[in-house]
Protein backbone atom coordinates (compact mmCIF):
# COMPACT_ATOMS: atom_id res chain seq x y z
CA UNK A 1 0.00 0.00 0.00
CA UNK A 2 1.25 3.49 -0.85
CA UNK A 3 0.55 6.35 1.56
CA UNK A 4 0.81 9.96 0.45
CA UNK A 5 1.58 12.81 2.78
CA UNK A 6 2.27 16.46 2.19
CA UNK A 7 6.00 15.72 2.00
CA UNK A 8 6.43 12.27 0.52
CA UNK A 9 4.96 9.06 -0.79
CA UNK A 10 5.59 6.08 1.46
CA UNK A 11 5.61 2.55 0.06
CA UNK A 12 5.44 -0.41 2.42
CA UNK A 13 6.97 -2.83 -0.09
CA UNK A 14 8.88 -2.49 -3.33
CA UNK A 15 5.82 -3.89 -5.12
CA UNK A 16 3.96 -0.71 -4.10
CA UNK A 17 6.27 1.37 -6.28
CA UNK A 18 4.78 2.26 -9.66
CA UNK A 19 8.21 2.02 -11.30
CA UNK A 20 8.61 -1.57 -10.03
CA UNK A 21 5.13 -2.59 -11.26
CA UNK A 22 5.75 -1.18 -14.74
CA UNK A 23 9.24 -2.72 -14.92
CA UNK A 24 7.75 -6.08 -13.90
CA UNK A 25 5.12 -5.78 -16.63
CA UNK A 26 7.84 -4.93 -19.17
CA UNK A 27 9.84 -7.98 -18.10
CA UNK A 28 6.79 -10.22 -18.50
CA UNK A 29 6.17 -8.70 -21.96
CA UNK A 30 9.72 -9.46 -23.11
CA UNK A 31 9.77 -13.13 -22.10
CA UNK A 32 7.18 -14.34 -24.65
CA UNK A 33 8.84 -12.28 -27.40
CA UNK A 34 11.97 -14.44 -27.14
CA UNK A 35 10.31 -17.78 -26.40
CA UNK A 36 9.61 -18.93 -29.96
CA UNK A 37 10.71 -18.43 -33.53
CA UNK A 38 14.21 -17.68 -34.85
CA UNK A 39 15.01 -15.40 -31.91
CA UNK A 40 14.74 -18.33 -29.50
CA UNK A 41 17.72 -19.96 -31.25
CA UNK A 42 19.95 -16.93 -30.64
CA UNK A 43 20.90 -17.90 -27.10
CA UNK A 44 23.28 -15.00 -26.49
CA UNK A 45 20.70 -12.41 -27.61
CA UNK A 46 17.96 -14.08 -25.57
CA UNK A 47 20.11 -14.26 -22.44
CA UNK A 48 21.10 -10.61 -22.76
CA UNK A 49 17.59 -9.23 -23.25
CA UNK A 50 16.20 -11.58 -20.58
CA UNK A 51 18.77 -10.32 -18.06
CA UNK A 52 18.33 -6.65 -18.95
CA UNK A 53 14.54 -7.00 -18.71
CA UNK A 54 14.77 -8.68 -15.29
CA UNK A 55 17.38 -6.31 -13.89
CA UNK A 56 15.20 -3.23 -13.20
CA UNK A 57 12.83 -5.05 -10.85
CA UNK A 58 15.77 -6.63 -9.01
CA UNK A 59 17.55 -3.29 -8.63
CA UNK A 60 14.44 -1.42 -7.50
CA UNK A 61 13.77 -4.14 -4.92
CA UNK A 62 17.37 -4.16 -3.70
CA UNK A 63 17.53 -0.37 -3.49
CA UNK A 64 14.24 -0.30 -1.59
CA UNK A 65 15.63 -2.89 0.81
CA UNK A 66 18.66 -0.72 1.62
CA UNK A 67 16.36 1.60 3.62
CA UNK A 68 18.49 4.66 2.87
CA UNK A 69 17.80 7.32 0.25
CA UNK A 70 21.30 7.48 -1.28
CA UNK A 71 21.63 3.75 -2.06
CA UNK A 72 18.02 3.64 -3.28
CA UNK A 73 18.76 6.44 -5.75
CA UNK A 74 21.86 4.60 -6.99
CA UNK A 75 19.92 1.39 -7.60
CA UNK A 76 17.20 3.36 -9.40
CA UNK A 77 19.88 4.75 -11.74
CA UNK A 78 21.01 1.18 -12.49
CA UNK A 79 17.37 0.21 -13.15
CA UNK A 80 17.04 3.09 -15.62
CA UNK A 81 20.15 1.92 -17.47
CA UNK A 82 18.87 -1.67 -17.64
CA UNK A 83 15.55 -0.49 -19.05
CA UNK A 84 17.42 1.46 -21.71
CA UNK A 85 19.45 -1.66 -22.47
CA UNK A 86 16.23 -3.65 -22.88
CA UNK A 87 14.85 -0.99 -25.17
CA UNK A 88 18.03 -1.07 -27.25
CA UNK A 89 17.80 -4.88 -27.49
CA UNK A 90 14.23 -4.62 -28.73
CA UNK A 91 15.40 -2.26 -31.48
CA UNK A 92 18.32 -4.60 -32.21
CA UNK A 93 15.81 -7.45 -32.50
CA UNK A 94 14.02 -5.50 -35.22
CA UNK A 95 17.33 -5.00 -37.05
CA UNK A 96 18.05 -8.73 -36.81
CA UNK A 97 14.63 -9.58 -38.21
CA UNK A 98 13.39 -11.15 -34.97
CA UNK A 99 10.73 -8.56 -34.20
CA UNK A 100 8.54 -6.07 -36.00
CA UNK A 101 7.69 -2.61 -34.72
CA UNK A 102 4.18 -3.92 -34.11
CA UNK A 103 5.35 -6.97 -32.13
CA UNK A 104 7.32 -4.83 -29.68
CA UNK A 105 4.78 -1.98 -29.48
CA UNK A 106 3.48 -3.02 -26.06
CA UNK A 107 7.00 -3.40 -24.65
CA UNK A 108 7.96 -0.01 -26.09
CA UNK A 109 4.89 1.58 -24.51
CA UNK A 110 5.79 0.03 -21.15
CA UNK A 111 9.32 1.43 -21.43
CA UNK A 112 7.83 4.87 -22.11
CA UNK A 113 5.51 4.54 -19.10
CA UNK A 114 8.46 3.42 -16.98
CA UNK A 115 10.43 6.55 -17.88
CA UNK A 116 7.39 8.71 -17.11
CA UNK A 117 6.95 6.99 -13.75
CA UNK A 118 10.49 7.90 -12.78
CA UNK A 119 10.65 11.41 -14.26
CA UNK A 120 8.56 12.97 -11.48
CA UNK A 121 10.54 11.38 -8.62
CA UNK A 122 13.86 11.97 -10.41
CA UNK A 123 14.36 15.37 -8.83
CA UNK A 124 13.77 13.77 -5.44
CA UNK A 125 16.40 11.12 -6.19
CA UNK A 126 18.92 13.81 -7.03
CA UNK A 127 18.11 15.40 -3.68
CA UNK A 128 18.38 12.02 -1.96
CA UNK A 129 21.86 11.51 -3.34
CA UNK A 130 22.83 14.73 -1.59
CA UNK A 131 21.20 13.67 1.68
CA UNK A 132 23.26 14.34 4.74
CA UNK A 133 24.23 17.80 3.59
CA UNK A 134 22.48 20.87 2.28
CA UNK A 135 22.55 20.54 -1.52
CA UNK A 136 23.20 23.52 -3.71
CA UNK A 137 19.87 24.05 -5.52
CA UNK A 138 21.65 24.97 -8.78
CA UNK A 139 23.53 21.64 -8.72
CA UNK A 140 20.32 19.72 -8.00
CA UNK A 141 18.49 21.51 -10.82
CA UNK A 142 21.36 20.86 -13.26
CA UNK A 143 21.51 17.15 -12.37
CA UNK A 144 17.72 16.83 -12.71
CA UNK A 145 17.80 18.57 -16.10
CA UNK A 146 20.57 16.24 -17.28
CA UNK A 147 18.64 13.17 -16.11
CA UNK A 148 15.49 14.30 -17.94
CA UNK A 149 17.46 15.08 -21.11
CA UNK A 150 19.14 11.65 -21.04
CA UNK A 151 16.13 9.50 -20.15
CA UNK A 152 12.96 10.87 -21.70
CA UNK A 153 14.18 11.43 -25.29
CA UNK A 154 15.21 7.77 -25.50
CA UNK A 155 11.71 6.39 -25.24
CA UNK A 156 10.30 4.53 -28.24
CA UNK A 157 7.25 6.17 -29.74
Domain boundaries, the chain: 15-154
Q: Report, at the CATH architecture level, how domain 15-154 is classified.
A: Up-down Bundle (1.20)
Give me the pLDDT at residue 133, please: 47
157 residues of the chain, pLDDT tens digit each: 544 433 344 678 889 888 999 999 999 999 999 999 999 999 999 999 999 999 999 999 998 898 877 788 888 889 999 999 999 999 999 999 999 999 999 999 999 899 878 765 555 554 455 444 445 566 556 655 655 565 444 444 3
Determine what percent of the chain is predicted with pLDDT higher than 90.
Answer: 47
Beta strands (DSSP E) in the chain are 2-4, 9-11
Q: Cα–Cα distance between 32 and 40 in angstroms, integer? A: 10
Q: What is the pLDDT of residues 113-144, one digit of tens each?
A: 998 787 655 555 544 554 444 455 665 566 55
79 DSSP β-pair partners: none
Amino acid sequence: MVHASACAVVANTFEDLEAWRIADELKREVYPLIATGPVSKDFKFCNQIRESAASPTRNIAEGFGRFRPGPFAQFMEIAIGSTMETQNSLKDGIDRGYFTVESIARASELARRYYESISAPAKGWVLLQHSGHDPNQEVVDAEYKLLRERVLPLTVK
